[in-house]
Amino acid sequence: MNTTLAAFLGGWEIILILAVVLILFGAKKLPELAKGLGQGIKEFKKASNEVTSELQRAADVDSYPQQQVQYRPPEKTIEASTSASQPAAAHPQPDEHKS
């Protein structure tokens, strides 16, 4: 409740306002009015929470820059580099002089 409004209204003023509302709307309509007021407040809080969460989510996305994934080709193994530099050792020739 707004504290400045409560500062201007005393106990008798609040009772007088409630009596006028009771006279204007009647005892049968007061529960319906209170229910409608409660649902309105509930919907307002829900909408304000959704807006707050959406703003928070947008701030979180903006605060973290997106990282780019860089491609790293597979490294060559020692065997592959040795066989490429020394093709004779990788593929031995048959010995023609053996009997």
What CA–CA distance (Å, rounded) separates 45 from 51? 10
The reported pTM is: 0.42
Q: Does residue 70 sit within a domain?
A: no
Q: Determine the angle formed by the axes of helices 11-25 and 30-63, rounding to 10 degrees.
A: 110
pLDDT digits (tens, 9 = 90+) for 16-44: 988 898 888 888 888 898 899 999 999 99
Number of domains present in the structure of the chain? 1
pLDDT digits (tens, 9 = 90+) for 54-93: 988 888 776 666 667 777 878 877 765 555 555 555 555 5
Nearest residue to 18 (alpha-carbon basis) of 5, 30, 6:
30
Q: Does residue 47 sit within a domain?
A: yes
Q: Does residue 14 sit within a domain?
A: no
Q: Would you state the structure tokens that stand for residue 52, as one six-digit string?
A: 């707050």
Q: Does residue 55 sit within a domain?
A: yes
The pair phi, psi for residue 2, each rounded to 5°, is -70, 125
| Cα 93–Cα 98–Cα 99 angle in degrees, nearest 5 | 140
Residue 64's pLDDT is what? 61
Q: How sure is the predictor about 97, in pLDDT bands with cuts at 50, 70 and 90?
A: low
**Residue 35 is part of which domain span?**
27-61
Q: Does residue 12 sit within a domain?
A: no
Q: Does residue 11 sit within a domain?
A: no
Q: Does residue 42 sit within a domain?
A: yes
99 Cα distance to chain centroid: 80
